Amino acid sequence: TDYVQTKLLPIPAPRRTPAMLLEEIIGTDGVKAVEKAGFINFHAVGDTGNENGRMQELVAEAMTLDYDTADPEKSPAFFLHLGDVIYYNNTDKGYQAQFYVPYKKYPGKIIAIPGNHDGELFKWDGAPTGQQKTLAAFQRNFCQPKPGVPPGAGTIYREMVSQPGVYWWLNAPFVDILALYSNIGEGPGFISGKDIGRQQKQWFEQALKAILKNRSNGISKALIVAVHHPPFSNGGHSSSTQMLANIDDSCWRAGIQPDAVLAAHAHNYQRFTRRLSFQNENREVPYY
């Protein structure tokens, strides 16, 4: 773990306040439809990057079947990518082959947090991944100054939203999602550290406090934390226990716990129920 920390790369600062409203993703009419339905659902998938993405296209086709044009408010509001959008080719060509082509028929908007491969400058064999600065390609496609079709999309019309940064807060009806970047280690993941600083963890803590304040003002929503490396894992990749300790520390300091945690990285499906006592209440938190 100490060795991995020496290999981590800087976390780019958000380009603006790291909070998004759902209107920025699906527009005002889309938000009204969600509110009218009385619930929100969304897709969440990770580790999809693949130079030969036929299997990825089959999954995207299956996800597309969840959209109902006759009853759009029951369709997924968006697709949250949980990281490793790209493997080993952080260039426009890599994004075209591994992201835009597989999702060319997917009708929903896509937002994301980066995975370890999205931030890499070099592959396992020492060859460059094509980006000179960590997460440059990710930011070019997901964190544009304004919504639009990035150059990597080529002839595929995929309008991408303008995320404020590589970590962010989505303030939506019925749910708050706090998305964190856990850096380039193959394992474990880190949201803060000696070399990468504590800015992200400090922001996370402040966002938690703001959500708690909203709850005290009568705005009660589910709270989901999303991060690429899994806090708990029993296969594929091991648990990121130090990262979990950082998340826990922020939650205890802020006085609020997530209702669910989403992660990726392990290349399989796992679900854990964490039982904890918090503020004199017994809680059960699912970790996916």
Helix (H/G/I), strand (E/B), else coil: 166: coil
List, in sequence order, every residue forming a beta bridge with 235; answer none if it has no partner: 237
**Rounded to whole angstroms, how far apart are CA atoms 222 and 80?**
16
Write down the pLDDT at residue 96. 95
Write down the pLDDT at residue 118. 98
* 42-80 pLDDT per residue, tens: 999 999 988 776 889 999 999 999 999 888 888 999 999
Write down the pLDDT at residue 140. 97
Write down the pLDDT at residue 50. 81
Average pLDDT estimate for 170-180? 98
**pLDDT above 90 for 197:** yes
Write down the pLDDT at residue 54. 84
DSSP-derived pairing of the beta strands 19-21 and 168-172: parallel
**Rounded to whole angstroms, how far apart are CA atoms 152 and 158?**
10
Find the angle CA(119)-CA(241)-CA(179) to the nearest 5 degrees.
45
**pLDDT above 90 for 19:** yes
Percent of the chain with pLDDT over 70: 100
Dihedral pair phi/psi, residue 27, rounded to 5° = 80, 165
Question: By CB neighbour count within 10 A (0-12 exposed, 13-18 middle, 19+ buried), where does 265 fall?
Answer: buried
Helix (H/G/I), strand (E/B), else coil: 196: coil
Nearest to 186 by CA among 84, 45, 82, 48: 84
Q: In the chain, what is the straight-line distance between the N-terminal and C-terminal CA atoms, in Å?
A: 23
> pTM value?
0.96
